[in-house]
Amino acid sequence: MVKRQEAIIGHYERSWGTRPQKVDFSEGPIHQLPPDFAVLKFGPSADRDMWTYSTACMSQEGDKKALELHVHSPYETDDVAELLVATAHYHRTGAILDLGHSVNFGRPWLNHARADHGLILLPYLDGPSLEIFNLEGGPIHFYWLLPITREEITFKKIHGLEALETEFDKVGLKYLSPDRGSVV
């Protein structure tokens, strides 16, 4: 188990060029997650002016499609770590998540934000070098959990993921802005 976590952390480090800290998070049903599960936080660097929170070992050997998630934040906050714990818990004990799926956070992703849902996307900021990591036991997919609004979720359900991504591109989505409005 430790080897898997070390391999996942190493993949993030190679992709983002910085070492993470493990977030000490013990609230909620964390005991129902795999014993090697962790949330990592990567601070800003010369190349990245943001914080990035990511899961490690949300995926487990033997999963039909192993995936790990990350969220970008304009500042350091354990609120984002809590969302990743809740999302990982839902994935492991509720419904299996995958690319294009959405989750209801049940609260704004950051204080005063309108976005209270998450959308699982390809890691557009990082590209294919982050997206797939081949590990013994099968590939792991590393996806971006993008905070979005209820209106954007409704639009996606009606028009599809590609149409929503087109709307994001049209306006130049300000994904780090907690006070951004809906693009639709």
What percent of the chain has a predicted confidence (pLDDT) above 70? 99
Q: Which two tokens stand for residue 135?
A: 């590990």
Mean per-residue pLDDT for 159-165?
Answer: 97
Mean per-residue pLDDT for 52-63?
Answer: 95
> How far apart are alpha carbons 121 and 8 in whole angstroms?
19
How many Cα atoms are found within 13 Å in the side-chain-facing hemisphere of 59? Answer: 30
43 has a pLDDT exceeding 80: yes
Report the interhelical angle of 161-171 vs 150-159 (nearest 10°): 130
Residue 56 pairs in a beta bridge with: 38
Give residue limits of the domains in the chain: 2-149
Decide: 102 and 153 in contact? Cβ < 8 Å: yes
For residue 30, name the pLDDT band (cuts at 50, 70, 90): confident
Mean predicted lDDT score pLDDT of the chain: 95
Q: Which two tokens stand for residue 112?
A: 């005063």
Q: What are phi and psi of 52, to 5 degrees?
A: -130, 125
69-109 tens-digit pLDDT: 999 999 999 999 999 999 999 999 999 999 999 999 999 99
> How far apart are alpha carbons 4 and 59 in whole angstroms?
9
Global confidence as pTM: 0.95
Residue 31 confidence (pLDDT): 86
